[in-house]
Amino acid sequence: MKQVRNTQAKTEILHLLSNAANALSHHEIQEKLNGLCNRVTIYRVLERLEKEGKIHKIVNMDGVINYARCNHCSKEKHSHNHLHFNCEHCKEVTCIENVIPEISLPENFTAHSYNFVISGICPKCSKTE
């Protein structure tokens, strides 16, 4: 079995995503790391963390990929079939894990995963409008 390296960049990115209230884009992660590593290293680390079942991707309404920490995934069972809320005002993406949509597909279609993104105004921005 191949040993997975635990680099400072990987540790910092996982810590950052674990403590974030919302999903973060690559750009936001790069800004928060303050030059710890370059953008290519960040992409590689994010890819590795996703393969390990520690994070998942969410494509927001603008087509930007955001990353969030997985709470119930493993390398063997990686599932993030829950809702994601994309605020139209502040652009934050929030995982809403206690809501899992039930879908019914036509005969002979088999779903392995899905990504639901709801667009609207988050509670924080609702207070300012």
Longest dimension (CA), the chain: 54
| CA–CA gap between residue 129 and residue 121 (Å, rounded) | 10
Its pTM surpasses 0.75: yes
Rounded to the nearest 10 degrees, the angle between the axes of helix 39-51 and helix 8-19 is 70
Q: Is residue 122 annotated as involved in ligand binding?
A: yes
88 located within any domain: yes
CA distance 129 to 125: 7
Residue pLDDT, tens place only, 45-94: 999 998 888 998 988 888 899 999 987 665 666 566 678 899 999 999 98
Is residue 1 one of the residues assigned to a domain? no
Number of folded domains that form the chain: 1
pLDDT for position 31: 94
CATH code for the domain of 19: 1.10.10.10
* Residue 12 is labelled as binding a ligand: no
Residue 87 marked in a binding site: yes
Indicate if the alpha-carbon torsion angle 4, 34, 95, 105 is positive or negative.
Answer: negative
Inside any domain, residue 2? no
Alpha helices in 1-129 (DSSP H): 8-19, 26-32, 39-51, 123-126
90 annotated to a ligand binding site? yes
Tell me which residue range forms the domain holding 90: 8-126
Q: Is 95 known to sit in a ligand binding site?
A: no
